[in-house]
Structure 1
Amino acid sequence: MGSSSALQHDLENKANDLSKLQKGSSAFLFIVKEFISMVIICKKNSTDIAKNHQVRKKYTIQLGENELVLKELDLLSEDANVFKLIGPVLVKQDLAEANANVRKRIDYISAELKRLDGTLQDLEDKQNGKKESIYKLQQKIQALQASKAKA
């Protein structure tokens, strides 16, 4: 959050400097402020995308681990002893119950990965829209600066 506010402060200083150069142009100032707002939103979206990737990576690792456990449980005979670690204690567990628990965990993790994929797609779509808006605002700023320079 600190880097976002530092970025905002830096951009506002630049906007103030530019507005001094462009005295009397409220349209220019409005566009610059809109540009700053878009950049800040874009920065936040980038942070959210990075967080999504981190969480997705964690779930992907957990999914792989649980699939491996399921394969190992499938190799066991019906009368095999299965233990579950609860705190510092190993507790005996029924093989069918262990299988069911692992399958439920796999289903949950898979559902979370799907949800994260949907969220990631939404975030990336928003990010692309903001980048397009930033590009258009940059063009408007440059056009206004060019017209002021000619005047």
Structure 2
Amino acid sequence: MRKKYTIQLGENELVLKELDLLKEDANVYKLIGPVLVKQDLAEANANVRKRIEYISAELKRLDATVQDLEEKQNSKKDTILKLQQRIQSLQSGKAKA
């Protein structure tokens, strides 16, 4: 999912750079299905910026989710290690007895 969003972000940033190079009176077309529809440059620019904001927000959300899951995983690892150490100490205590 993250890879998909990263690719989309790069594509949209490239489109934004291309739109910034255009003159105000340039023709801009948007592909909708099999048809190219003429679009206002300012509208196209706004749409691309909104898409970039959305994708960036999704990437941040995914990163936060991954970080949260990693923290939970580390917490569980620590718990398991403590339990293993406790079991080993109990087993060594029984072996001595």
Q: Same fold, TM exceeding 0.5? A: yes
What's the counterpart of residue 64 of structure 2? 118
Q: Deviations over 1:72-107 (max 9, x none)?
A: 001111121111111111111111111000000011
Please state if 1:64 is matched with 2:10: yes
Aligned residue for 1:80, secondary structure, equals coil
Matched with 1:29 is: none
Matched, 1:77 2:23: yes
Amino acid at match of 1:83: Y
Spell out the pairing of 1:1-151 with structure 2 (5 A cutoff): 55-151=1-97
Q: CA RMSD of the aligned region, Å?
A: 1.2
Percent same amino acid among aligned pairs?
A: 85
Q: For residue 125 of structure 1, report the CA deviation from its aligned partner.
A: 1.0
- In 1, the alpha carbon distance for the partners of 2:52 and 2:5 equals 10
- How many positions carry a matched residue from both structures? 97
Q: Which runs of 5+ in 1 are unaligned?
A: 1-54
CA shift, 1:143, in A, is 1.6
Question: Larger helix proportion, structure 1 or 2?
Answer: 1
Shift of 1:150: 2.6
Q: Which amino acid aligns with 1:117?
A: D
| Aligned-residue offset at 1:126 | 0.8
Partner of 1:25: none
Query: Which has the bigger relative contact order, CA under 8 A and spacing at least 6?
Result: 1
Query: What stretches of structure 2 of length at least 5 have no aligned partner?
Result: none
